[in-house]
Amino acid sequence: MNATPEQLKMIVDSAFAARLLLGDDHIVYVNRATEDLFGYSASELVGRTVDILLPEDVRARHAALREEYYRAPRRVLLGVDKDIRARKKSGAEFPIHLGLAPIHEDDGPLFVAVTVFDISHHKEIERQLVERANDLQLANDRLARFAYVASHDLQEPLRKIAAFAEIITACLGKGDLGEAAHASEVVRASALRARELVDGLLAYSRQVATTPRLEPLDIRRAIEAVESDFSELIRQTQAKVAVSVPPGVRVNADKLQFERCLASLLSNAIKYRKPGRPPHIRFSVERGPELRVSVSDDGIGFEPKYAEAIFEPLRRLHSFTQYPGTGVGLALCKATCERHGWRIEARSQLGAGATFTMTIPQGETPPAERVA
């Protein structure tokens, strides 16, 4: 049984997809889904050209495409291999797929049935997939560099352990206990160095893999807690620590990871102080749409060309004997910032101190999110 015109109209009106009927590029009919999608009522659309539903910057191009289509009307789906945007009454633009189907009447005018598919959700999923693929590629590249550097750094203490173990054996064979004792001390120091490196690698791996547990944190309190943990080292080095952060400036962060990052920056500032001079260290914030938390020092600094390299795991600009450490602290800071969606950068000149800045795009935690 053939459907009546009224039944066909009911079918179109009940459809979830937005459907329009065009005659000479003027809208002659829209269904309910079209009103819902674009925010116009049917009376606001009927009689208007389809340009009302297009962004202004594509209307001229649409005129040329319209002439081409009406010369050879056909069923076609647009937007699959090229992005197409539509425009709501509010002015908001969104991506679409567009289906066109000509309707010929005997000796009558040509009508075009238009179906509009809002693909915003699919585009968002596509964007997330691309972003995750890029993140995965970045993680793989970093893992490859990490594995190379880790194996290289671990080779040194292991090589010493093997070499001096042989020396111990030879010394014991000829009764040279003094030389054997010296070799034993080298073996012990190398073993401790290897263990320190492994502990650093494990800490970095955990940090990279752990999802932050966010909570509103008072930045000043977090700094004061870290300063308290370092009180003995601060006393020994006679460091001067200034905290130019007003109370009540909060940020959503993982407490353990954020304080560990602050601790790494403070430790770094104390370690790379100028010989014979107590270090001067300053914590500060810059408020605005983005929140910036900075740690500045007056230490030995570094050449600007190393501003990115110092955040790589196990990357060291100085020998271990001159400045002990694993070279993981700043890498942990970078991992923390990346896991939070923040940025971290370093600015320095050789001999002129350094400033490390964490930029938090979300800014301060708004009052509505704060907890008692």
Query: Quick one: 226 and 346 in the same domain?
Result: yes
The rounded distance, in Å, linking the Cα atoms of 297 and 67 is 67
Domain co-membership, 190 together with 327 = no
pLDDT at 100 over 80: yes
One domain, residues 185 and 238: no
pLDDT of residue 357: 94
103 is in which domain, residue-wise?
Answer: 5-118
CA distances from 202 to 179, 196, 210, 260 (A): 35, 10, 12, 15
Q: Is residue 234 within 8 Å of 224, Cβ to Cβ? A: no
Asked if residue 147 has pLDDT above 80, the reply is no
Residues 239, 134: one domain?
no
Residue 370: pLDDT over 80: no
> What pLDDT does residue 292 have?
94
Whether residues 218 and 361 fall in one domain? yes
Give the C-alpha separation, 84 to 95, whole Å: 6
pLDDT value of residue 271 = 87
Taking alpha carbons only, the member of 189, 180, 181, 179 closest to residue 158 is 189
Domain ends where: 118, 142, 168?
A: 118
Domains in the chain: how many in total?
3
More confident residue, 196 or 215: 215
Same domain, 343 and 223: yes
| Confidence (pLDDT) at 372 | 40
**Residues 125, 193 share a domain:** yes
Per-residue pLDDT of 258-305, as tens digits, reads 988 898 899 889 888 888 889 999 999 998 889 999 999 998 888 888
Under the banding of pLDDT at 50, 70 and 90, the label for residue 11 is: low
Both 195 and 83 in a single domain?
Answer: no
Say which CATH number the domain at 85 has.
3.30.450.20
- pLDDT at position 360 is 92
Structure tokens at 234: 């601060």
Neighbouring residues of 352: CB distance < 8 A, sequence distance ≥ 6 = 298, 301
- 1 pLDDT band, cuts 50/70/90, is very low
- Do both 315 and 263 map to the same domain? yes
Which CATH number is 198's domain given?
1.10.287.130
End of a domain among 64, 94, 118? 118
CATH of the domain at 325: 3.30.565.10
- Tell me the per-residue pLDDT of 124-133, one tens digit each, with 9 for 90 and over: 898 888 888 8
Query: Is the four-CA dihedral 51, 56, 62, 63 of positive or negative sign?
Result: positive
What's the rounded Cα separation, in Å, for the pair 306 and 218? 32
The span from the CA of 132 to the CA of 219, in Å, is 30
Q: Give the residue from 118, 152, 168 where a domain finishes.
A: 118
My answer on whether 84 and 125 are in the same domain is no
